[in-house]
């Protein structure tokens, strides 16, 4: 729970000592706080030839109220920004004293059709990266490679991954770098995702690749039985385009009911907390033995507590019955256990209970909630996977198998749920500071903490914020995906 | 080039010292040698419910001449093996003194349709892993998740990845673990791939996932203009099934012409060497300044040397002209350069030359060879990517971008080339001991070497052997894929 090294090297004496010894100095990450502006400062805009997303980006910049500066690669930005009534200027490279002046770098690579055109990205990041401040944000935007018309275009768009992940590793200082592929027709569904990646809410999410498809339900995320139409209630003062839907960005989950499993403590409690802060009514579930902690967590949030064992055979029916009357809009499958042992020493019971609780129980519960229409159309499912499910891990054959299976669930169910406007995604936490990781032996814990671009572990709230983004009504175009919350951990597959 | 630690800890004194100090003791990997049997010893067979690949596996085991022992999970194996006339027995778990008795573990998970059935994998590996000897082989076989009929089946098949990667990290002792997804209808196209993963040729390939599709051209890999029909010339003594094609497994590339770029030294020279050893006529290409080294390499192989700069504008036409008369069957895009710098310090020229040589030149050359029909139908393209292209790397924005683009090339062109029976794949080397990596500072070099399941760097021949497998006429069902040759490096995305 407690990274004392991080605190020490950010004290005046510790910083001096670390510098003289050449020790890593992890940045104190800026996280979202309700009492501070979420978006602030200068955002530099760059582009390759024929950028297709400028309209959407102008709407976004207007909506979040940042001031833009156009790099020379983005000549079309200035007149467009003027038409949108944005505060804008030109980026002057290599000015003395420009270091740290920028809060974000946004590059529209959507028009790049050939590998030779990638040099526009070099020009932009070469000029701007040193001017990006601590905990700054880098977002590269492209087209989904697999939907490109020619192999040359697919190749060039796919190449953006190598660049973005390298930028994340180079930038350090709490800076994140992510790549967002926007499908044709989805240009006006980008705001919820770009807000997340530009916000302090994504403090520990870096090196990720996210696709936004044109959603079946368009921008509202509200179809079928969703009566509360939260998506129509917000006000978007400055956004110029009539295509972009308006959300209440402060309370996007108002009127939504969210089930969170494993909600008593740790990451689950943080998820409940963040969803409630965004307006959701939280139904927290945990095992009967955690009832007191669950009640305490949920009482503060004015939610509903359910004490069930999700792995019990009767649990799906029991849960469906408990939720039937009011239904549910958001399901977060967070409950999970570990029973680590090398496979030669692992009992059949230890294997089976981990698979059952972490994976099979999710399958049974979703079947029950979907069959009964209890999870409403336009709903959101978010499952917690793990970096171990991606890369495998020593002593975790059962856990890694279950968490890889969660990825399969998300990939397999997304197309099936599309017609109902339901999205399903996974988050895969890396090293997160919890009671669980506090029990890891010191040397291994230190390695896990430092082997990422942030040189530190994440916080439960970081996982929770990523889940809230995926649960957002504006995330209708994001489905079937796995997003790591790992500070761009070195570890992967 | 020289891992002196590996040698030291495998000397009698070094081994004692390492043991007393608790230092890692990397295994001396068993690699392919023409003067030793490629396949030898006992292979244990396990299975989930309703294994679909047993026929193909029985053919394989007969063809490679190993003796099989059936785990209790594979009850159907014994009668089948008897029908195929195989030497077979039953695996007795936990026998005193059984440690190290097995050479390979093969599990057929193709019939698994639900996460609860994954327990069969626990049973098998729990019982057998300790009996697997040094440099043993683990292969798990399943169905491609994305082609599964139900989300439950997709989920369970996808879960196999988490298991296989965990087994690779647990097993150590030079053992590899890989997962092969076999599509319906491709059951009799598995032999070339399974031979590779069971052979010492795959010494440094672990934690990989490979898909075998039913190929457009079936098993022959010889269609259209390929006149030499190498695939019909081999003899398959013991393989029982009439569906399985026969290859000359010692000289599978006999009669084929293989272009290798960057062939003068290092990995390129090793590729030329291995392809020639498997019967190919090698056309080695390198820049004019490397002509002496190229000539020396190629002369030994009785090949053809071409001294060109692949990045020159006239190179594609020049190359097409040089190859036009006899054509080419295999193209290996190995030539590449690095010009490392952080992007803020990287010149435009350093960016552009790396992108151009590592990526754009490949595009131009393939266009020329494909347009003219110079790369014959049934051909093979293999491009060298890199772990940096997958994970990104500090100081390598240009290189990582180019190598991520190579992945895009492979993914985008595979469907287009399918009708002509041409496959295109990439290999992504991790830390390979070459003159290039010998220049890396010691501490970073040591980290790169040890941060993988083999606790050592790979050899150029390891990359070459993986390329030879992909170039094999029996690999017609393997296309659009990226295979890492990295000893299951921790580093990934």
**Would an 8 Å CB–CB cutoff place A358 in contact with chain B?**
no
Active-site amino acid positions of A: 399
Task: Convert the pLDDT of each residue in B183-230 to its tens digit.
Answer: 999 999 999 999 999 999 999 999 999 999 998 765 444 333 333 333
**Would an 8 Å CB–CB cutoff place B234 in contact with chain A?**
no
* CA of A400 vs chain B CAs: smallest distance (Å): 5
Sheet with B281-286, strands from edge to edge, namely B304-307, B281-286, B257-261, B328-333, B375-384, B423-429, B482-485
Task: Give A-chain residues touching B393 at CB under 8 angstroms.
Answer: 166, 169
* A170 contacts A451 by C-beta, under 8 angstroms: no
**What is the per-residue pLDDT for B94?**
62
What CATH class does B257-485 carry? alpha beta
**What is the per-residue pLDDT for A88?**
87
Nearest to A169 among B129, B344, B392 (CB): B392
DSSP code, position B39 = S
DSSP code, position A44 = E
Residue of chain B minimizing CA distance to A171: B394
CA angle A405/A409/A414 to nearest 5° reads: 155
B91 Cβ neighbours under 8 A, 6+ residues apart: B44, B69, B70, B71, B72, B127, B128, B131
Q: Predicted ipTM?
A: 0.93
Nearest to A115 among B161, B355, B389 (CB): B355
**CA A184 vs CA A50, A211, A213, A215, A279: distances in Å:** 14, 11, 8, 11, 31
Task: Answer yes or no: do B400 and A162 touch at CB < 8 A.
Answer: yes
Q: Check B5, B181, B204, B399 and give the catalytic one.
A: B399
**Would an 8 Å CB–CB cutoff place A416 in contact with chain B?**
yes
What would the mean pLDDT of B23-35 be, rounded to a whole number?
91
**What is the per-residue pLDDT for B227?**
33
Task: Answer yes or no: do B397 and A166 touch at CB < 8 A.
Answer: yes
Kind and range of the H or E run holding A21? helix A12-21
DSSP H helical ranges for A397-441: 397-417, 435-438
Q: Which tokens is B344 given?
A: 């803020």
What would the mean pLDDT of B372-385 be, rounded to a whole number?
97
Nearest to A159 among B148, B207, B404 (CB): B404
Task: Give B-chain residues touching A149 at CB under 8 angstroms.
Answer: none
**What is the per-residue pLDDT for B235?**
36
**Would an 8 Å CB–CB cutoff place A201 in contact with chain B?**
no
pLDDT at B369 over 50: yes
DSSP H helical ranges for A137-235: 151-171, 191-198
**What is the per-residue pLDDT for B242?**
39
**What is the per-residue pLDDT for A95?**
62
Nearest to B404 among A152, A162, A396 (CB): A162
- 10 Å CB burial of residue B289 (0-12, 13-18, 19+) is exposed
Inter-chain CB pairs, A–B, below 8 Å: 266
Chain B interface mutation, best of A392, A414, A455, highest count of B Cβ atoms under 10 Å: A392
**Would an 8 Å CB–CB cutoff place B224 in contact with chain A?**
no
* CA of B384 vs chain A CAs: smallest distance (Å): 14
* CA of A299 vs chain B CAs: smallest distance (Å): 35
**What is the per-residue pLDDT for A218?**
54
**Would an 8 Å CB–CB cutoff place A11 in contact with chain B?**
no
Nearest to B151 among A116, A169, A412 (CB): A412
The residue extents of the domains of chain B are 1-30, 31-212, 257-485
Chain A interface mutation, best of B105, B162, B370, highest count of A Cβ atoms under 10 Å: B162
CA-based nearest residue to A363, from A404, A311, A435, A422: A311
* CA of B39 vs chain A CAs: smallest distance (Å): 26
DSSP H helical ranges for B324-430: 348-355, 361-371, 387-391, 397-417
**Would an 8 Å CB–CB cutoff place B166 in contact with chain A?**
yes
Residue of chain A minimizing CA distance to B345: A126
**What is the per-residue pLDDT for B218?**
55
Task: Give A-chain residues touching B342 at CB under 8 angstroms.
Answer: 170
Task: Convert the pLDDT of each residue in B261-312 to its tens digit.
Answer: 999 999 999 999 999 999 999 999 999 999 999 999 999 999 999 999 999 9
**Would an 8 Å CB–CB cutoff place B117 in contact with chain A?**
no
**CA B378 vs CA A271, A363, B194, B418, B420: distances in Å:** 53, 43, 21, 9, 6
3-state class of A383 per DSSP? strand
**CA B124 vs CA B41, B56, B63, B89, B136: distances in Å:** 19, 20, 24, 16, 15
**What is the per-residue pLDDT for B130?**
94
**Would an 8 Å CB–CB cutoff place A448 in contact with chain B?**
no
Provide the CA A438 distance to its chain's centre, in angstroms. Answer: 24
How confident is the prediction for chain B on average, in pLDDT? 91
Fold matches, A31-212 and A257-485: yes
Task: Give B-chain residues touching A411 at CB under 8 angstroms.
Answer: 145-146, 154, 158
Quote the CA–CA distance of A424 and A411 in Å, as a whole number.
Answer: 8
**Would an 8 Å CB–CB cutoff place A151 in contact with chain B?**
yes
**What is the per-residue pLDDT for B445?**
83
Task: Give B-chain residues touching A416 at CB under 8 angstroms.
Answer: 151
B134 Cβ neighbours under 8 A, 6+ residues apart: B27, B30, B100, B173, B174, B175
**What is the per-residue pLDDT for B220?**
46
Task: Convert the pLDDT of each residue in B111-152 to its tens digit.
Answer: 999 999 999 999 999 999 999 999 999 999 999 999 999 999
- For chain A, the maximum distance between any two Cα atoms, rounded to a whole number of angstroms, is 68
**Would an 8 Å CB–CB cutoff place A122 in contact with chain B?**
yes
B188 Cβ neighbours under 8 A, 6+ residues apart: B56, B59, B219, B241, B243, B244, B245
**Would an 8 Å CB–CB cutoff place A251 in contact with chain B?**
no
Task: Convert the pLDDT of each residue in B236-270 to its tens digit.
Answer: 333 333 345 679 999 999 999 999 999 999 999 99
Q: Which tokens is B173 given?
A: 């002792």
pLDDT 10s per residue in chain A (493 long)? 578 888 888 888 788 777 777 777 899 999 999 999 999 999 999 999 999 999 999 999 999 999 999 999 999 999 999 999 998 899 987 665 666 789 999 999 999 999 999 999 999 999 999 999 999 999 999 999 999 999 999 999 999 999 999 999 999 999 999 999 999 999 999 999 999 999 999 999 999 999 999 987 654 443 333 333 333 333 333 333 434 567 999 999 999 999 999 999 999 999 999 999 999 999 999 999 999 999 999 999 999 999 999 999 999 999 999 999 999 999 999 999 999 999 999 999 999 999 999 999 999 999 999 998 999 999 999 999 999 999 999 999 999 999 999 999 999 999 999 999 999 999 999 999 998 788 888 878 888 888 999 999 999 999 999 999 999 999 999 999 999 999 999 999 9
B399 among known catalytic residues: yes
DSSP H helical ranges for B248-396: 266-277, 291-300, 315-323, 348-355, 361-371, 387-391
Chain B interface mutation, best of A114, A144, A166, A386, highest count of B Cβ atoms under 10 Å: A166
Task: Answer yes or no: do B151 and A403 touch at CB < 8 A.
Answer: no
**pLDDT over 90 percentage in chain B:** 82
**Would an 8 Å CB–CB cutoff place A311 in contact with chain B?**
no
Report, at the CATH architecture level, how domain A31-212 is classified.
Answer: 3-Layer(aba) Sandwich (3.40)
Task: Give A-chain residues touching B336 at CB under 8 angstroms.
Answer: none
What would the mean pLDDT of B393-416 be, rounded to a whole number?
98
pTM of the model: 0.93
């Amino acid at each position: 729970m407690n990274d004392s090294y991080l605190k020490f090297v950010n004290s005046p004496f510790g910083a001096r000592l670390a510098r003289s010894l050449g020790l890593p100095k992890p940045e104190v990450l800026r996280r979202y706080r309700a009492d501070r502006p979420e978006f602030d400062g200068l955002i530099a805009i760059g582009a390759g030839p024929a950028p297709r997303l400028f309209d959407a980006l102008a709407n976004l910049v207007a909506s979040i109220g940042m001031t833009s500066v156009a790099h020379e690669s983005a000549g079309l930005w200035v007149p467009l920004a003027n038409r949108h009534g944005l505060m804008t200027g030109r980026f002057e490279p290599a000015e003395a004293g420009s270091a740290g002046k920028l809060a974000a770098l946004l590059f529209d690579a959507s028009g790049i059709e050939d590998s030779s055109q990638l040099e526009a990205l070099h020009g932009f990041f070469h000029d701007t990266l040193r001017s990006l401040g601590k905990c700054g944000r880098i977002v590269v935007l492209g087209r989904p490679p697999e939907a490109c018309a020619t192999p040359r275009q697919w190749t060039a768009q796919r190449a953006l991954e190598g660049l973005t992940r390298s930028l994340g590793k180079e930038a350090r200082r709490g800076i994140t770098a992510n790549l967002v592929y926007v499908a044709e027709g989805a240009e006006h569904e980008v705001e919820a995702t770009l807000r997340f990646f530009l916000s302090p809410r994504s403090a520990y999410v870096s090196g990720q690749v996210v696709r936004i498809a044109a959603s079946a339900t368009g921008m509202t995320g509200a179809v079928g039985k969703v009566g509360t139409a939260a998506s129509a209630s917000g006000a978007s003062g400055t956004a110029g385009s009539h295509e972009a839907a308006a959300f209440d960005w402060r309370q996007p989950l108002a009127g939504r009911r969210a089930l969170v499993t494993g909600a008593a403590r740790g990451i689950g409690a943080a998820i409940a907390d963040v969803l409630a802060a965004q307006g959701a009514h939280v139904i927290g579930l945990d095992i009967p033995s955690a009832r007191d902690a669950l009640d305490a967590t949920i009482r503060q949030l004015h939610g509903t507590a359910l004490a069930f064992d999700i792995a019990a055979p009767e649990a799906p029916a029991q849960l469906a019955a408990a939720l039937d009357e009011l239904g549910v809009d958001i399901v977060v499958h967070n409950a999970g256990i570990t029973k680590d042992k090398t496979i030669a020493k692992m009992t059949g019971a230890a294997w089976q209970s981990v698979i059952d609780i972490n994976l099979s129980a999710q399958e049974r519960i979703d079947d029950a909630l979907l069959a009964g229409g209890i999870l409403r159309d336009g709903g959101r499912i978010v499952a917690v996977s793990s970096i171990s499910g991606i890369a495998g891990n020593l002593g975790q054959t059962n856990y890694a198998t279950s968490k890889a299976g969660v990825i399969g669930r998300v990939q397999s169910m997304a197309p099936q749920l599309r017609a109902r406007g339901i999205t399903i995604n996974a988050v895969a936490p890396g090293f997160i500071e919890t009671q669980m990781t506090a029990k890891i032996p010191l040397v291994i814990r230190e390695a896990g903490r430092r082997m990422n671009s942030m040189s530190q572990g994440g916080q439960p709230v970081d996982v929770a914020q990523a889940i809230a983004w995926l649960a957002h009504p504006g995330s209708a175009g994001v489905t079937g995906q796995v997003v790591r919350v790992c500070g761009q951990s070195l570890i992967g597959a």
